[in-house]
Amino acid sequence: MKKNLIHFKTGVCFRIFTLLLLLLPATLFGQVKITGTVTDASDGSPLPGANILIQGTTQGTVTDVDGVYSIEAPADAVLIISYMGYLSENIDVDGQTTINVVLTPDLARLDEVVVIGYGTMKKSDLTGAVSSLKEEDIKSIKASNAIEVLQGKIAGVDMTRSDGRAGSGYSILIRGARSFSASNAPLYIVDGIDYGSNIDINPNDIASMEVLKDASSTAIYGSRGANGIVLITTKKGTQGSKPVVSFSTYYGYTTPLGKLPNGDRDYFLQMLRDIYRTNKPAYWDSADSQVPIESLLYPEELEGYMNGTDFDWVDAQMEDHGSQQDYYLSISGGTEKTTYSVSVNHFVEDNFIPNDFYKRYSLKSNIDTRLGKLFEIGNSNFISYNMLNRGQGINHNFVPLVVPYDSTGNLIAVPNSRAPFSNMLIDQDPKYNDSETSTTGIFSSYYGQVNLLPGLSFRSAFNVNLDFQRIGDYSGDYEGLDRLSTASLNLINNYRWTWTNILTYDKTLNDHHLVATAATETRYGLTERYYQRGQDLMLSDFKWFAIRSGDPAYLSITEGNLPYVKTTMQSYIGRLHYGYKGKYLATITGRYDGASQLVDKWDFFPSVSVAWKISEENFMKNIEPLSLLKLRLGYGQTGNSSVGAYQSLGSTTTYALYYEFGIDEQLVTGAYRTGQLSTLPRWESSTAGNLGIDFGFLQNRISGSLELYKTHTYDILQTVSLPPTSAVKEVLENIGETKGNGIEITLNSVNISTPQFKWSTNITFSRSTEEITALAGGVTQDIGNGWFVGEPINVFYDWEKIGIWQTDEEEIATLYGSDPGDIKLRDVVYDSVINDEDRVVLGTPRPKWTGGLNSTMNYKNIDFSFFVYARVGQMVSDGVEGMWSPDCRESSMERNYWTPNNPTNEYPRVNPGLTRSGWSEATTLRYKDGSFVKVKDITLGYTLPASISSKAAMTSFRIYVSAKNYLCFGKFFAQGRYDPEGGGGTGFPSPKMLIVGANVTF
């Protein structure tokens, strides 16, 4: 497989370098002429432009487009064959005249260029913690969303899919959470520009993704750097290449991962018998209560009982399967002066939950051209339209004795009078309930670059990023349901532009390498909102398209709290990188950000980092197995730009206070101060230190890195209540503090590398801890928000269930106002009363550690890979337990509940006197260990031999099958629950998917 040269600048340097080599005069003495080809070990493709150097000399050559070279060298010479991104080979000529060389890709990728924000850098020159995924890593995952590919592939990134809804996003934390009131999501930068949080880019369009993790790397983004940066670089055409047409597609068949233990008819009937005798001790002497079951049933249940009904409501609310389809077509190429790349994509995810789907259409183009020697200009556009239709999640509250349809096949409004819920199948029908979010986005950039002197360039780029979102919601009336049709339409328009100017100077002088970057950036953002809502529509089919047809009394048009929000930012950015002999490296960055939201507009964010490539030192040279050892140390300060617009202005009421004057009662709209002029707030800030070690053994056959970091976040914004005598309720202040630390390990290994068989493995491991160290008012706990000093930012705080009161504990149980069969809670204060003070922190949804293992094997034309992801130590809130209704009114989910004859400690007794809403300790059943190990992906692929595909005018043709998200291990899942990754919800189970796909290149 041909390695793409992603960055033309490096490409240029490289070409110049090889040119220089060619110009060197050959010293011919005792020579043999050697010819051969250089090929890629993974697929046997030729490597054009590979270097062949005679050891100890400056003589060499490069391979041509077919990977062929010829060179004259002494018969006893040693040839060094190298190619960027591949491990170099040293070969003894030993009189041979034909030497074919197979190069193995270098997993440490030290020569690779990585994007670091306002510039690029060779990976070997990095001084901060930057992780990178290249095209091959990205396209190997069949992901609906570009972000998804980061999961488990980059140590320090903790990601979970929110739920199983179509198009559902990922929650992503880089190095844990640090703010407890502002967002902890990273900043996404696409081709140098802030993209927003909705990353709807197809992975096929991506050339590389970089994650900047430590403060010394992210400080270049200043007030927006604290949560880490995800840099996405899209594909461009290749210089001097014929048009390359690629088409790829796949079809995925999805079903839920996991199945809940729905109780059947017999289980439900037994539960009713047990509930009947709950408070009648004598009845438990026999195995069965002697009461006729008919007397315990509601009319609809009785009918079902007589008919032998055993209806599975959960199945009824799901379709047989869902699907994902992706179609991607791209054409790219270039002349010596101009490169281009155009792609179109269509993606559809259709959930197995009815009326839950996501569709995306996108168009992307890049064009770059040189104008003479001095100038370059270019343009890239990304236009997308996506539509997200939100279905209604599964409702587990129905019992198996009742059915959703009446004898004529119509949906029954309220199927069961025991628990009069409306029939969920009505709400799953788009005729009666619908929700659609459509977004049109235009992301368009133009740049011009002038190369003033060798190494000195100036680039000015302007980007316009527009998106228009329309959210329609509709709920219709239905015969027998006491509700009016309701529709709402919410329009949100975002207008943003960014202007970036970058001046770069790159100079090497003897052993000194200096890269200086200075940049300015100007950002403008405007959001406008409009919201309309109506009820009792003239015609249900109008949905949200004719809200005015509704009853005028219910019509409301609101602009939201802030219908018009404008923010602006001006930044000055500088970076100085210095390297001595490629061994001693240092980087200093600084960013000065001015933002409209702040009273004191300007703030400065500096960082410094150094690195020492120990393996380059002479004293290390003879440690044979060690090929790389590099130490990195960085420290920096970053911000979290969490202050909203207008918060520092004293504001008057946005709702009106009316007073009427005169006999005519003329309304005067009154308004008074609701917000105070505040000199605060500032950005939330983090200072963080990072220690990194990069290592490689056996010519980097085994390579990796280890990162250790510590973060201190302060000035966290908190709403502080003011004394009412101050007339204003609250004010935002920079008060809270958190700290965090962690460790990350990345390991890459090429286990086997022969021309026929290749096997490589990547492992990531990360562990992070976080804790709150200070809260507003100096308190140690803020129960209302669930914040506790010394605990992680998100915790579960509740009573702790320690079992079920057993029959022989009746005396103590009574003391606590409980009966045998009730939940036994830990009396933390130990005062024989369970009250609010007995609540404790039970756990956190953040994992203790996460890990990923990715392994790829290639044998001839067959490739096989699998990816395992583990997330361990987190607590989830089990949605199934949230439905447990002790009076059996809702949900017949099978549970091992307590009876005098079944003294379990698992679930309490069924109890006719206890409704779910009136049962506060019910929540204690919910907290569970959500640790899991998942096989996220198994792929088997076959590439047609070039000899066959070329006959069909194809450059390559590959077909594959994959199983995605197919296997899950862990206590929670084993208990009969859905995928725990989403946190234990039950409405939208995560899908597992079987995929068939093909990639063709012409």
Q: Which of residues 622-651 bind another protein (CB under 8 A)?
A: 645-646, 648-651
Q: Smallest gap, in angstroms, from Cβ of residue 528 to another protein?
A: 9
Q: Which of residues 361-390 bind another protein (CB under 8 A)?
A: 374
Residue choice 185, 464, 484, 503 for contact with another protein (CB under 8 A): 503
Work out whether 505 is an interface residue with another protein (CB under 8 A).
no
- 63 closest CA partner among 27, 35, 41: 35
What is the rounded distance in angstroms from the CA atom of residue 87 to the CA atom of residue 978? 44
Work out whether 673 is an interface residue with another protein (CB under 8 A).
yes
How many residues are there in the chain? 1002
Task: Please check whether residue 736 is in contact with residue 721, taking contact to mean a CB–CB distance below 8 angstroms.
Answer: no
- 881 closest CA partner among 814, 774, 798: 798
Report how far Cα 923 is from the mean position of its chain's Cα atoms: 29
Residue number, 562 or 789, with CB nearest to another protein: 562
Q: Which of residues 893-952 bind another protein (CB under 8 A)?
A: none
- 642 closest CA partner among 730, 715, 573, 591: 715
Three-state SS string over 688-745 comes to EEEEEEEEEECCCCEEEEEEEEEEEEEEEEEEEECCHHHCCCEEEEEEEEEEEEEEEE
Cα dihedral sign for 394, 395, 400, 404? Answer: negative
Residue number, 657 or 752, with CB nearest to another protein: 657
| Site mask for another protein (CB under 8 A), range 250-289, x = bound | ----------------------------------------
Work out whether 662 is an interface residue with another protein (CB under 8 A).
yes
Residue number, 56 or 650, with CB nearest to another protein: 650
| Site mask for another protein (CB under 8 A), range 572-611, x = bound | ----------------------xxxx---x----------
Looking at residue 325, the DSSP 8-state letter turns out to be: E
Task: Please check whether residue 492 is in contact with residue 471, taking contact to mean a CB–CB distance below 8 angstroms.
Answer: yes
Residue choice 729, 848, 860, 971 for contact with another protein (CB under 8 A): 729
| Residue recorded with tokens 């960014």 | 498
Work out whether 661 is an interface residue with another protein (CB under 8 A).
yes
Q: Smallest gap, in angstroms, from Cβ of residue 599 to another protein?
A: 10
End-to-end Cα distance, the chain: 14
Segment interacting with another protein, rule: CB under 8 A, options 43-51, 221-229, 729-737, 879-887: 729-737
Residue number, 375 or 969, with CB nearest to another protein: 375
Give the DSSP letter string of 919-936: -GGGGGG-EEE--EEEEE
Q: Smallest gap, in angstroms, from Cβ of residue 963 to another protein?
A: 49
What is the rounded distance in angstroms from the CA atom of residue 148 to the CA atom of residue 230? 12
Residue 897 pairs with which residues in a beta bridge?
907
Q: Smallest gap, in angstroms, from Cβ of residue 468 to another protein?
A: 19
Would you state the structure tokens that stand for residue 750, as one six-digit string? 């090429």
Task: Please check whether residue 403 is in contact with residue 309, taking contact to mean a CB–CB distance below 8 angstroms.
Answer: yes
- 968 closest CA partner among 994, 990, 997, 941: 990
Task: Please check whether residue 320 is in contact with residue 135, taking contact to mean a CB–CB distance below 8 angstroms.
Answer: no
Phi, psi at 161, each rounded to 5°: -80, 135
Residues 6+ apart with CB under 8 A from 455: 505, 506, 507
What is the rounded distance in angstroms from the CA atom of residue 43 to the CA atom of residue 245? 20
Q: Which of residues 947-976 bind another protein (CB under 8 A)?
A: none
Q: Smallest gap, in angstroms, from Cβ of residue 345 to another protein?
A: 36
Q: Which of residues 457-496 bind another protein (CB under 8 A)?
A: 458, 460
Residue choice 27, 70, 197, 726 for contact with another protein (CB under 8 A): 726
Segment interacting with another protein, rule: CB under 8 A, options 275-283, 323-331, 530-538, 662-670: 662-670
For the CA atoms of 471, 476, 481, 483, the dihedral, rounded to the nearest 10 degrees, stands at 70
Residue number, 251 or 530, with CB nearest to another protein: 530
- 756 closest CA partner among 862, 865, 859, 863: 859
Q: Which of residues 283-312 bind another protein (CB under 8 A)?
A: none
Residue choice 310, 559, 808, 906 for contact with another protein (CB under 8 A): 559
Q: Smallest gap, in angstroms, from Cβ of residue 877 to another protein?
A: 22
Q: Smallest gap, in angstroms, from Cβ of residue 782 to another protein?
A: 12
Segment interacting with another protein, rule: CB under 8 A, options 4-12, 200-208, 265-273, 655-663: 655-663
Task: Please check whether residue 535 is in contact with residue 486, taking contact to mean a CB–CB distance below 8 angstroms.
Answer: yes
Residue choice 17, 659, 859, 969 for contact with another protein (CB under 8 A): 659
Work out whether 29 is an interface residue with another protein (CB under 8 A).
no
Q: Smallest gap, in angstroms, from Cβ of residue 933 to another protein?
A: 42
| Site mask for another protein (CB under 8 A), range 513-552, x = bound | -----x-x-x------------------------------
| Site mask for another protein (CB under 8 A), range 415-454, x = bound | -----------------------------------x-x--
Q: Smallest gap, in angstroms, from Cβ of residue 641 to another protein?
A: 14
Residue number, 549 or 570, with CB nearest to another protein: 570
Work out whether 836 is an interface residue with another protein (CB under 8 A).
no
